[in-house]
Structures are given as structure tokens and as C-alpha cells.
Amino acid sequence: MNIGLLGHVDAGKTTLSKALSTIASTASFDKGAKASNLRANTIDLGFSAIELDSNHQIALIDCPGHAQLIKAVLAASSVFDGAIIVINASRGIEPQTAEHLILASILCPKNVIIVISKIDLVEKEKIEMMKKKLPKLLKSLNIPETSPIVPLNLSNPSSESVLDLINVLKQKFFIPERISSGNFVMVIDHCFPIKGKGTVMTGTIVDGSCK
């Protein structure tokens, strides 16, 4: 199952990905996927995974939150089976949050999880207010208003709130239907040279199989 991590820039998507992941992959947390400034925000797609148990794994696709990189998000969205929308508690709904919510409402409305991040920066009353208002927003986008809303303290990756999110992921997990007998279709996410080897492409197989 593939889940996109979506939200406005600096909402905490990459930090969340690190907290959840048991397997790192292409450009997931390395410096090459970060901006050169001090904020070090993600400017590329990052791929990692969480193993729920020995038989079930979720691929996490960390998407950039910059408005000018929406094309990268749209390209990645072709493999989404679900989405985690990360909302900065101190800022609320921001421009890219809204865009990503609309994208999730089109692609995977029944498999959306809302994470309210950075809850340690605001009063509890604000968190409760957000939890009350968000279901109405989700309903207006044809996303079930009962979709999980998980407040998260990302400054403490071992906190109970992270375990709560993992339990939600286990509840939402399903095995997507894939057409293994059809034509081979692979969505490319990275293309890069390796010295002495040549050009390497990585991606996700969405139809067919590779033998």
C-alpha cells in the first residue's frame, strides 16, 4: 500500500516520515533532497516504508510542500492508495494544505488521515477547536467526516501519539488491487547517474510485472 505524506511546507512531513519509517529508500532523508538554505525543506520526493508486521508494509511518499513543486506531487499521486495530510497546529490550513486536501479528495477520499503536527507549540484549546472544525471541512470535500484526526508531538518520536498513528494505519491498511497480468507500467520517480554503472531509474510498478 502506498501513502502520500502531504501538507504545506514546514508542516513536519519529513519529520513524521522519519518517526514512522523502518526502511529508508531513495532520497528519503538524505541531504540531496533538501534545499540548500538553513530551513532544509524537502524539494524532492522521498520514499521510505513502515513494516506493520512481517506480511504488511506501507510505502511512505514524502511530497514537497512548495507551491512551485506541485507538479512533482501530481506525478507522485498516480501511485497513492491513501494520504496523510499534515497540518501545522500553529498555522492551521495553509495554501498547499488546501491544494493537497483537494488532491486527496479526488484520488483517495476514503483513505485520508489528518495529522495535526507541532501540538507542543500551541494550547490544548486550539487543538480541540481544530478537531471540531476539521470534520466539516472534510465533509465539504466529500472526504468522510469520520476520517481519523491524530494530534502528534513530533518533537518526541517515541510518544504515544506516534503509536496512535501507527494503530490508525493498521486499521486503514488494505491490499490494493493490482493487475499483474496486464501491460507493464512503471511510474518513474528518480533518474540519476552512478559512476561506472550508467543511468539508473527508480519507480513504482502500477500494472503488470517484472521478471
Query: Domains of the chain: which residue ranges?
Result: 2-172, 178-211
User: Of 65-79, 85-99, 156-170, where does mean pLDDT reach its minimum?
Assistant: 65-79
Degrees to nearest 5, angle at CA 165 with 121 and 172? 145
**30 CB-near residues (< 8 Å, 6+ apart):** none
Residues in a beta bridge with 150: 115
208: left (phi over 0), alpha (psi -120 to 50) or beta: left
The structure's pTM equals 0.82
The pLDDT, as a whole number, for residue 27 is: 53
**Edge-to-edge strands of the sheet including 2-6?**
23-24, 46-53, 56-62, 2-6, 82-88, 112-117, 149-151
Judged by DSSP in three states, 177 sits in: coil
Share of the chain above pLDDT 90, in %: 43
DSSP notation for 130-164 = HHHHHHHHHHHTTS-TTS-EEE--TT-TTSHHHHH
The pLDDT, as a whole number, for residue 87 is: 95
User: Of 32-46, 123-137, 166-180, where does mean pLDDT reach its minimum?
Assistant: 32-46
Higher pLDDT, residue 182 or 149:
149
Judged by DSSP in three states, 66 sits in: coil
* Mean pLDDT of the region 42-65: 83
Classify domain 2-172 at the CATH topology level. Answer: Rossmann fold (3.40.50)
